[in-house]
A and B are shown apart, each in its own frame.
Chain A
Amino acid sequence: MPVKVKLPQIMRKHAGGESVVSADGATLRDLLADLEAKYPGVTKNVISEDGGLHRFINIYVNDEDVRYLGSLETPVKDGDTISLLPAVAGGS
Chain B
Amino acid sequence: MSLGFTEAQVQRYARHIILPGIGGEGQRKLLDSKVLCIGAGGLGSPAAMYMAAAGVGTLGILDFDKVDESNLQRQIIHSTADIGRPKVESATDRLRAINPTIDVVPYDTILTSDNAFEILEPWDVVVDGTDNFPVRYLVNDATQMLGKPLVYGSIYQFDGQATVFMPGQDAPCYRCLFPQPPPPGTVPSCAEGGVFGVLPGIVGSIQATEAIKLITGLGEPLIGKLLIFDALAMEFTTVKIRWDADCPVCGKEPTVTELIDYDWFCGLTPGQVPPEAEHGVSTTA
A90 touches B181 (CB 8 A): no
A36 adjacent to chain B (CB < 8 Å): no
Provide the bound-state CA to CA distance between A45 and B159, in Å: 18
Given A55-B178, A56-B178, A63-B239, CB of A91 within 8 Å of CB of B41? yes
The CA-CA distance from A65 to B226 in the complex, in Å, is: 11
**DSSP class of B's interface residues: helix, strand, loop or mixed?**
loop
Measured CA separation A80–B30 after assembly (Å): 42
Q: Least Cβ distance of A21 to chain B in Å?
A: 14
Partner of B179, one of A55, A89, A92: A55
Q: Does A40 contact B (CB under 8 A)?
A: no
Interface residue? B170 (CB, 8 A): no
A57 to B183, CA, bound (A): 11
In angstroms, Cα B240 to Cα A25, docked, is: 23
Q: Which residues of A contact B43 (CB under 8 A)?
A: 91-92
Complex interface: chain A residues within 8 A of B187 (CB): 10, 86-89
* Stretch in B16-24, B116-124, B125-133 with 4+ CB within 8 Å of A: B125-133
| Residues 163 to 201 of chain B near chain A (Cβ within 8 Å) | 177-182, 186-187, 189-190, 195, 200
Which one, A55, A63, A83, A85, contacts B180 given CB within 8 A?
A55
Contacts of B278 in A (CB 8 A): 92
Q: Which of A8, A86, A92 contacts B71 (CB 8 A)?
A: A92
Looking at the assembled complex, report how far the CB atom of B14 sits from the nearest CB atom of chain A, in whole angstroms.
33
| Contact (A92, B131) CB under 8 Å given A56-B182, A60-B239 | yes
CB distance from B63 to the nearest CB of A (A): 9
Interface residues of A (CB under 8 A from B): 8-10, 19, 45, 54-58, 60, 63-65, 67-68, 83, 85-92
Interface residues of B (CB under 8 A from A): 39, 41-44, 65, 71, 75, 128-133, 136, 153-159, 161, 177-182, 186-187, 189-190, 195, 200, 226, 228, 230, 232-233, 237-242, 274, 276-278
A-B contact list, 27 entries, CB within 8 Å: A8-B156, A9-B158, A10-B159, A19-B230, A19-B232, A45-B186, A54-B182, A55-B179, A56-B178, A63-B239, A63-B240, A65-B239, A65-B241, A85-B239, A86-B156, A87-B133, A87-B181, A88-B159, A88-B187, A89-B277, A90-B131, A90-B195, A91-B130, A92-B39, A92-B41, A92-B42, A92-B190
